[in-house]
Amino acid sequence: MTLTDGTYRLGPPTGRLLLKTGRTGLGRRAGHDLTIEATRWSGEAVVAVGDPDRSSVSVTVETGSLEVREGTGGLKELTDADRADIKRTLADKALLHTAEHPRITFRSTRITGTPQSFEIIGDLTIKGRTHPVNVHAEGNSDGLLRGWATVTQSTWGIKPYTAFLGALRLADEVRVEFEVARLERADRLG
């Protein structure tokens, strides 16, 4: 599928949005590098292939929809109880405070490049704080779009998780990755 001008819907089941964490500190061997998936998110992409400056992207993620999909490394396997504990920790006031801030939003301010390789510059709002983020992305002739950005938690007032009196810490930087396997037109009639 070749990307053409139009308005497209983004989100599950044709798209995935993942957060990948890393560990730091003296106790990092005890913890896990996590892959967390946003299971409820949606967005819209307005595409102007010949004039990327007229293109735009907006995405909304429900903070309560974050689910641990994988935990690698660590001294022991990640259990279902560990996953439930991580989900509770994510909802906590020190991290995402999902009760008060149920959504994370991204709104592009500028898009440059080609459908094969592009950059989306935009405003990311987490916990009521908005800061700029650069998203690097690429597309192929099969219609697959992939991209990533690095988000520094402390910029948005999120204190990276610690355990064992601070000997184990999540790295401040989190990699956000997306993959859209098939774009669905939102502007087609019928």
Q: Kindly list the structural domains of the chain, giving each domain's residue range(s) and its CATH number in brackets, ordered by start.
A: 6-185 (2.40.128.110)
Going by pLDDT thresholds of 50, 70 and 90, the confidence category of residue 189 is very low
Q: What is the mean pLDDT of the chain?
A: 87
Token pair for 25 = 């500190």
**Burial of residue 59, with CB atoms counted within 10 A of its CB: 0-12 exposed, 13-18 middle, 19 or more buried:** buried
Q: Is the dihedral of CA 49, 178, 94, 161 positive or negative?
A: negative
Token pair for 146 = 């992939």
Q: What is the pLDDT of residues 44-70, one digit of tens each?
A: 999 998 899 899 999 999 999 999 898
Going by pLDDT thresholds of 50, 70 and 90, the confidence category of residue 26 is low
**CA-CA distance, 14 to 173, in Å (whole number)?**
27
- For residues 163 and 62, the model is more confident at 62
Contact 7, 182 (CB under 8 A): no
- pTM listed for this prediction: 0.88
3-state secondary structure of 87: helix
Q: What is the pLDDT of residues 129-159, one digit of tens each?
A: 999 999 999 988 787 899 999 999 999 998 8
Identify the pLDDT of residue 190. 43
Instruction: Check pLDDT > 90 for residue 83.
Output: no
| Average pLDDT value for residue range 162-185 | 80
Identify the pLDDT of residue 166. 55
Identify the pLDDT of residue 165. 55
Q: What is the pLDDT of residues 107-117, one digit of tens each?
A: 999 999 988 89
